[in-house]
Structure 1
Amino acid sequence: MLWLTLTSLNITPSLVGRALGSVRSASAVSGAIQSALGHHKALAEYVEHYAGLCNPDALHVCDGSEGEYTTFMETMVEDGSMFKLNEAKRPNSYLARSDPRDVARSEESTFISCVNEEDAGPTNNWRDPVEMKATMANLYKDCMVGRTMFVVPFSMGPIGGPISHIGVQLTDSMHVAASMRLMTRMGKAPLEALGTDGEFVKCMHSVGYPLADGKADVAWPCDPDNKYITHYPEENLAESYGSGYGGNSLLGKKAFALRLASAMGKREGWLAEHMLILGVTNPEGKKKYVAAAFPSACGKTNFAMLEPTMPGWKVECVGDDIAWMKFGPDGKLYAINPENGFFGVAPGTSMGTNPNAMRSLDRDCIYTNVAMTADGDVWWEGMTEETPEGMTNWLGEPHNPASNTPAAHPNSRFTVPIANCPVLDPNFEALEGVPIDAIMFGGRRPTTIPLVHEAFSWNHGVLMGASVASEKTAAATGDDIGEIRHDPFAMLPFCGYNMGDYFQHWIDMGKTEGAKLPSMYLVNWFRQDPETGKFIWPGFGENSRVLKWIFERTDGVTDNAAKTPIGYVPTPDALDTDGLAGITNDELTELLRVDPDAWQREINQSDEYLTSTFGPKLPAELKNEIESLKKSF
C-alpha cells in the first residue's frame, strides 16, 4: 500500500494543494505521484490536478489487496462509520447507515455536459461543459482538507479483454474505495495494465465535507444541498460531488458503465446496456446466452439468478445489471458484465423471490440502510414472514414493529463480490465475453402485452426496446401509482447522449457486415386477470418456461409459434406447462391473447410518445416500423 503524505515530502498538510504551485514542492509531489502511478504521465497529471484543487492531507493509491480492504473496514469500524456484523452469522460483513438526506440516486442532480445541447437530448439534464466545470471547480476547492484522496484504479470487465475498459476514480471516501474493491477489478492489476500510456476513464468524486478549522467528522459525510453527478462524454470524464451513496459515488456503476460507456459505444461501434446476462442450458447440455433489459421493479435480478422449475434445465448468471456488447470476428454479438459484484436493493429479496441472491449474501458483504437484529445480523422487509423483535432500524433507532415505519429503508442496499454467487457462469471471466443468442425486453404491464412475443426483424426489435413502458409502483415512485412510464431500453436515466441517436445506433448495429443478429423478444410477467386483478403468471422460477420457448425458437424450432400482427406468439401448446399448477387453459389463452383494439391504442400511444419526445431525431426506420404495425390491424 502506498500512503503518500505530503509531510513526508517536507510539505505541510495545509499546503497539500497550494504547494503544487511551487516549483520545488510541485516537483517533489509530481515525482512521487508519477512513481506511484507507474510513470503514467497523463494519469499523474490527472491526479495532480484534482489534488491541487481539492487540497487533501494525503494520497493513497489503492492496491486492491485483502490486507488493504481489512484495514479500510477496521478503520471505519473504529471511527463509527461502519458496524461489524455477527461473525458467526454473517462472516466478514458490515453495516453502514447513511445520512437520511443521502439515500438514493439523484437524477435531478445528474447532468450530461457536452458542447451541443442537442447531443444530450430531451431525456437528460444538460449543462454547458465550461460552465459546469467552473461550478464543479468551485465546489471542489479545498473540499478534501483534512482527508485522504484515494486513487482507485479499476477495470470494467476482465482485464485486457477486447470489450473491457479501465477507469481511475479519485475519492475522499474510504467507504467508496472499499466498495469499489467489491464491485470492480480494482487495484494493482488494472494500474499495471495501463502501463505508461494506456487510456483510462476519469472518475472524480468527493463527499463535499472538508475537515477544516477543527471541524469534526461524521459517520456519513455528505453535502446534500449541493449534489452534482455530471458527465462529459466527449472527454470520458465523470465528476461527482456531495453524495456518498450508491451510483452517485461508485462511479464505475451508472456513470462510467452506462452514461459514459454508451457514448463511447456509439463512437466505437459497440453497445453499453442496462441489461442482465444469463446462460441457459437444456437437459441435453446445449447452452445459449440471453441479455435482457427490464425497468426497475420488474424482476431483473430475480431473472438473472432464477432457479428453473423444469427438470434438467439450468440457468447461470453472468450479470444482473449491465452488459457491454460488441460483435466478434465470427459475426456473433458478444457480451461481458463489466462489473465484478452485485449492488442490489435489499427489500423484497428473500429465499422465496431470489434464493441465489440470498445465498450470495451469506458473507463478505457491505449492507447500507438495512435493519440490524438484536444478535447482530441484518433484516429488511420481505426477507422473512415474521419481523424479528428487538431490532435497530436503518436510522439507528429501536424499531417498533407496530408502527408503519419500515425497519429498512426502501432503497437499502447490499454490495457483495460476484464470486459469492452460487450460480455464477463459468465463462464470467472470458476475455471475449459470451455469445448472445437472444435479447429480451420487458415491463410491468397489467394488460395488452402478452406473456412473450418475438420480433419479426432487428428493426422491429429495436422498436420493441424503444417502446418499453412499465407501470409505476409505490416502491419506485411513491406517486402516480398505476401510471405507465415510458423507459426505452430501460435506459431512460442512463443514456449518455441523445436517445434518438441511441435508437439510430441500435439500428446501425443491425447493419454490421457479417453480423449474426440475436433474436429479440418482449416479455410481460405482470399481466392481470381482468376480473380479479390478480397476476395470472406465477413468475420467478416459472419464468424458465418462457426461457425454454425462446431457447427453442433460437434453436430453429418453427412450429411452436403463431404469427400475429405484433410478432410471433407461442401457440397454446408451445409453453411447457408440465407441473405448473394453478394456470387454467383460459388463463393461458388470456396470457397470450393479442387484443386488436388494445394494441391499436398501444401503438398510437407509443407513436405519440416517441414522436413528441424525439421529434426529427426519431429514426426513419422506427417510423416505418410503427406505420407497418398500424397497418397490420
Structure 2
Amino acid sequence: MFELKKGIDITTDIGGIKTDAEVVEIFKQKMEASEFDKIQKIKSQEARLKIANAIALGQPDKVFINTGDEKDKARIRQMCLDLGEESALAINGHTLHYDLAEEQARIVDRTYYIANDDETVSSLAQRISREDAYDYVKKYMVGCMKGMTLVVGFYSRGPVGAKAAIPAIEATTSLYVCHSAELLYRNCFEDFNAEVDRVGHFFTNIHCQGPNRPEDLPNARVFMDRAHQTTFATFCTYAGNTLLLKKGNHRFAVDRATYYRRGEELSEHMFITGLKGPGGRVTFFAGAAPSGCGKTTTAMVGDEFISDDLAQIWIADDGTIRSINPETGIFGIIEDVNWTDDPDIMSILREEKAEVIFSNVLVDDEKKPHWIGNGESHPDKGFNFQGDWFEGKTDANGKAVPLSHPNARFTVRAESLANYSPKLTDPAGVVTKVFTYNGRDADTMPPIRVAKDPDEGVVIGASIVSKATATEVGATGVKRQPWANQPFIPGALGDNMVAQFEFFNSEKIKPENRPIMAGLNYFLTHEARGGAGQGLLGEKRDVKVWMGWLDRLVYNEVEAIDTPIGLLPKYEDLKNMFKDILGKEYPKELYEKQFALYTDKIIARIDMQYEAFKKEDNMPKRLFEIYEEQKKAMQELKEKFGAVIMPDQL
C-alpha cells in the first residue's frame, strides 16, 4: 500500500539540516539581505527545512528567492539572457532556448519512481529503491550547484483556493526553467503559507543541469520520490525533464487522487475547453490524449480555452463535476503549427503580442524562428538544435537533420490566446459535461463513439492506443496508453482503474450532471479503409464537428446508433453540422468509411487490451466483463452482417 512520508527523506537526510537555527544559518550564508528578508515570509517549517536542505545538498554560491513580482521576473529574464540559456529574437519579448541535441524530449529510459520495498509501481514504469536513489543523489548531486545561483520559486498548481489546487516549490539552477515556470504556473509567494495550511502538504522540485555537456547525459536522471513528494533532476535541461512542476508533480497529484481522495478527485492528462453551441450556450469538455496526439489542437477548437495538457477534477458539493488547469500557459509542440490550422497561435508566434519562449527551432540571420510545417518559406541555412544548419545536412548516421526538431516547443501564457477564458483563474473551476479519450489510432475505431454508461466510459479511456511520438527519447512502435495518463501513473494500474470506476459512478454526481464519455479519433487513414496512402480520412479540423455533436447529445438534440462499442452519430446530423460549422460538404461515402465497423480489427483490439490487462494485479472484474460483452456482440454482428458493418445496417 502506498503511504506518504514513509522511509528516509533523501533531501533532508543528506542535507543534514534539522533545526530552525540551522535553517536560519544556511539562509544567511547563501542569501543577500534582501533575499533573506523574502524567505522569512515563508512560515511553513517543513517548507523551510526542504529549502535549507536543498541548499545544503547542492551547495550553490547564492540563493535568489523569486516572489513573482515584476522586479523579480525582470531579473530572471535578464539572467537567462546573460547566462546564455536563452537568446533574444527579432520580436520584442520573444526568446530562443536550445537543449542538447541528444536531449530533445523526456528521458523515459532514465526516469524512475523512488519506491519503498513494499510499494507497487506501475508495470509500465521504472522503479528504483530508496537506497539506490540515495546513493545516486549523494554521488552526483552533493555540490552539483557550486558556482551557480539557486532560484527558489513558490507556485500553485491551480487557482489559489481551488479544492484540487496544490502548492509547490521549484528550486533550480536553470534560469530557463525559472522563466518557463513564470509563464506556465501561478507564482503564489504571497499565498504560499495559507495554501500549505489549507491543503496540508506541498510538492518539492530540485533541479541542477550541471555543466550541460553531452558526455553527462548517461548520468542524467529524473527521480520522483512518491512518499516525500519530491522530485530530483540532474544533467538535463529539456523542460519535460526539468520543469517538474509539470509532469513530475502531476504524478504526485495522481497518487493523491488515487490513494487519498479516491472517488472524489482525478488528476488527468487532459485539455479543458468550452465549446459554444446552439443559442450561445457553452459546454465544457475535458479530453485525454497522449503527448503529440493533437491535444493542443483540440483544446484550441473550443471558444473558451482553459487547458491544453493537464486537469485537476473533482465532484463539487452541488453534484457537478468541476475541472481546473494546474497551469496557466502552454508548453506546446510547434511542428505543423501554421496559419491555416492554428491562426490564433500563429498570430502570437509571429507578432508582438506576448512573451514567448521558442525551443529547438531554426533561427536565421534576422533572428527569426522557423519550424517544420509552418506553411512559410524558410531559409536554406541557419542555426538549430544541431548547431549550424544547411539544407541537406546529415547527422553522424547519415540521417537528414530537419529544420527543427519534431518535439520543438513554444511556451506562452494562456491569457494571450484569442479564445482565452477568464474562468481559467476561477477557483470554482468549470462544470465539465463531456470527457473524451483519443490516441493516434490509424486503422480501427471510428472518429467518435459514446459510452452507454460510466463503466463503458472508463473502458474507453483505459483502451487508448497510440503510436510513439517524438516526445519520448528512443520510444518506437504502437503503445497502450490507458487514459493517455500511462507515463504518469505511479502506482498499480489496477488501483488507478478502481479509482476511475469509483469516481464516474459516484452517487455524489447528480443524475442530470453525469457526463458523456466518448472516444475521439481523427487519425484514421485512407489505407485503413480500402484506399491508398497514409493521408488522414478527413481533416483535423473536423474535430469541431465531432465535439459539436457531443454537445448536442448532452442536450438530447441528436439521436445515436447503438453499437457494441458505443453510440455513433447519424449521417444526416453530421451532414448538416459539417455545413453549418465548417461550411463544407460531408459525403455519405466518407461517413461510411469513417463509421463502418471493421469487426476483425475491433475484436483484435479488444483481445489485445484484455490480454494486456490480465497481466496486471488487482484489476477490477468489471473491465473484463465489458470487453467480453463487446467481443461477443461484435462476433454476433459479424455473423449477421459480415466483416464490415455499415452504420445504416444498425
User: Which TM-score band (shorter chain)?
Assistant: 0.7 to 0.9
Q: Which residue of 2 aligns with 1:467?
A: 463
1:382 is matched with 373
Q: Which runs of 5+ in 2 are unaligned?
A: 1-13, 29-35, 395-399, 635-650
Question: Which residue number in structure 1 is paired with residue 33 of structure 2?
Answer: none
| Whole-angstrom distance in 1 between the partners of 2:536 and 2:314 | 37
Q: 2:599 aligns with which of 596, 600, 604?
A: 596
Aligned to 1:609: 612
Partner residue in 2 for 1:452: 448
Partner of 1:300: 295
How far off is 1:232 after superposition? Answer: 2.1
Deviations 1:348-395 (A, max 9, x none): 211223222223434301112111122112111111342234532233
Residue 425 of structure 1: CA displacement? 1.8
Q: Report the Cα distance in structure 2 between the residues aligned to 1:132 and 1:478, rounded to whole angstroms.
A: 23
Distance in 2, Cα, partners of 1:388 & 1:478: 29
Distance 1:598 1:569 in 2: 17
User: Which whole-Å CA distance do the structure 2 matches of 1:244 and 1:432 have between them?
Assistant: 35
SS of corresponding position for 2:629: helix
8 Å CA contact 1:34–1:41 kept in 2: the answer is no
Other-structure match for 2:524:
527
Separation in structure 1 between the aligned mates of residue 267 and residue 521 of structure 2, nearest angstrom: 23
Partner of 1:9: none
**1:33 CA drift (Å):** 8.0
| Kept after mapping to 2: 8 A contact 1:63/1:188 | yes
3-state DSSP class of the match of 1:305?
helix
Give the Cα–Cα distance (whole angstroms) in 1 for the partners of residues 611 and 146 of structure 2: 52
What pairs with 1:399-478 in structure 2 (closer than 5 Å)? 399-400=390-391, 404-472=400-468
Where 2:573 maps in the other structure, the secondary structure is coil
CA contact (8 A) 1:41 1:196 kept: no
Counterpart contact for 1:33–1:44, Cα < 8 Å: no
CA distance 1:117–1:593, shift in 2 (3 Å): farther
Q: Which runs of 5+ in 1 are unaligned?
A: 1-16, 210-216, 307-313
Aligned pair count reads 593
Query: Quick check: 1:139–1:208 contact (8 Å CA) kept in 2?
Result: no
Which moves more between the two structures, 66-75 or 535-544? 535-544
1:398 Cα deviation after fit: 4.2
Which of 76, 81, 85 matches 2:85? Answer: 81
CA-CA distance at 1:474 after TM superposition: 7.4
Report the TM-score, using the length of structure 1 for normalisation.
Answer: 0.87
Deviations 1:488-540 (A, max 9, x none): 11112111211121111101112322313211111211222222235454333
Give the distance between the partners of 1:412 and 1:461, measured in 2 at CA.
33
Distance 1:473 1:238, change over 3 A: closer
In structure 2, the residue matched to 1:64 is 68
Partner residue, 2:633: 632
Residue of structure 2 in register with 1:202 after alignment: 203
**CA 1:536 to 1:412, structure 2 compared with 1: closer, same or farther past 3 Å?**
closer
Q: CA RMSD in A?
A: 2.7
For the structure 1 residues 563 and 122, does the alpha-carbon distance in structure 2 shift closer, same or farther, using more than 3 Å as the test?
A: same
1:391 aligned counterpart, secondary structure: strand
Show the counterpart of 1:492. Answer: 486
Amino acid at match of 1:158: P
Matched letter for residue 290 of structure 2: P
Is the 2:85–2:175 Cα contact (8 Å) retained in structure 1? no
Which residue number corresponds to residue 43 of structure 2? 39
Give the SS at the match of 1:392: strand
Post-superposition offset of 1:228: 1.6
Which residue does 1:29 correspond to in 2?
A: 26
Aligned pair partner of 1:332 in 320, 334, 348 = 320
Structure 1 range deviating more: 439-448 or 271-280: 439-448
Letter in 2 for 1:155: S
Q: Following the alignment from structure 1 to structure 2, what is the Cα–Cα distance between the partners of residues 237 and 351? A: 41
Amino acid at match of 1:572: Y
Aligned pairs for 1:216-231 within 5 A: 223-231=216-224
What is the match of residue 181 of structure 2? 180
* Residue number in structure 2 paired with 1:122: 123
Aligned to 1:14: none
Q: Distance in 2 between matches of 1:21 and 1:36?
A: 17
> Within the alignment, does 1:254 sit opposite 2:247 as a pair?
yes
Give, in whole Å, the separation in 2 of the partners of 1:487 and 1:203. 27
Q: Is contact 2:361–2:408 with CA below 8 Å preserved after alignment?
A: yes
- Describe the SS at the equivalent of 2:390: coil
Structure 1 residues 459 and 206, CA gap change in structure 2 (3 angstroms): same
Identify the match of residue 586 of structure 1 among 574, 586, 589: 589
Structure 2 distance, partners of 1:101, 1:478, is: 11
Match of 1:538 in 2: 538
Q: Secondary structure at the match of 2:552?
A: helix
Q: Which residue of 2 aligns with 1:152?
A: 153
How far off is 1:598 after superposition? 2.8
Q: Which moved more, 1:20-29 or 1:280-289?
A: 20-29
Residues 564 and 156 of structure 1: is their aligned pair in 2 closer, same or farther, counting only changes over 3 Å? same
| 1:106 equivalent in structure 2 | 107
Cα distance, 1:479 vs structure 2? 7.4
Q: Return the alpha-carbon distance in structure 2 between the equivalents of residues 535 and 231 of structure 1.
A: 40
**Separation in structure 2 between the aligned mates of residue 196 and residue 42 of structure 1, nearest angstrom:** 11
Cα distance per residue 1:76-104 (max 9 Å; x no partner): 32333321111xxx221111222223221
Which secondary structure does the structure 2 equivalent of 1:574 belong to? helix
Quickly say closer, same or farther: Cα 1:76–1:602, change in 2 above 3 A: closer
Letter in 2 for 1:145: K
Identity of aligned residues (%): 23
Per-residue Cα deviation, 1:306-346 (whole angstroms, up to 9, x for no partner): 2xxxxxxx622111000110000111110001101111112
Task: Determine if contact 1:112/1:496 at 8 Å carries over to the other structure.
Answer: yes
Between 220-229 and 131-140, report the one with greater CA deviation. 220-229
Structure 2 counterparts to residues 245-324 of structure 1, below 5 A: 245-256=238-249, 258-266=250-258, 267-269=260-262, 270-306=265-301, 315-324=303-312
The code of the aligned residue for 2:532 comes to: T
- Say if 1:372 and 1:392, in contact at 8 Å, map to a contact too: yes
| CA separation of 1:452 and 1:148: change in aligned 2, threshold 3 A | same
How many Å apart are 1:556 and its aligned residue? Answer: 2.1
Cα 1:600–1:25 shift into 2, 3 Å: closer
Q: Secondary structure, in 3 states, of the residue corresponding to 1:252?
A: coil
Distance of 2:475 and 2:135 partners within structure 1: 36
Aligned residue for 2:8? Answer: none
In structure 2, what is the Cα distance between the partners aligned to 1:341 and 1:477? Answer: 24
CA distance in 1, matches of 2:196, 2:446: 52
Structure 1 contact 305–315 (Cα < 8 Å) conserved: yes
**TM-superposed deviation, 1:45:** 0.9
Higher helix proportion: 2
Per-residue CA deviation, residues 107-144 of structure 1 (Å, 9 max, x unaligned), is 11111222246521211111222432332233221111
- Tell me the SS of whatever aligns to 1:617: coil
Distance 1:19 1:286, change over 3 A: closer
Q: Deviations over 1:211-242 (max 9, x none)?
A: xxxxxx67x79941212211122222222222
CA offset digits 1:411-431 (Å, max 9, x no partner): 221111111111112311111
Matched residue SS, 1:60: strand
Partner of 2:347: 359
Q: Indicate if the aligned counterparts of 1:301 and 1:321 stay in contact, CA closer than 8 A.
A: yes
Asked if 1:234 is matched to 2:227, the reply is: yes
**3-state DSSP of counterpart to 2:487:** coil
Q: CA deviation at 1:205?
A: 2.4
Please state how far the C-alpha of 1:577 moved relative to its aligned partner.
2.8
Q: Is the 8 A contact 1:562 1:570 kept in 2?
A: yes
Q: Secondary structure at the match of 1:277?
A: strand
Match of 2:547 in 1: 547
Describe the SS at the equivalent of 1:72. Answer: helix
Q: Residue 436 of structure 2 aligns to a residue in which SS?
A: strand
Is the Cα–Cα contact under 8 Å of residues 105 and 471 in structure 2 kept in the other structure? no
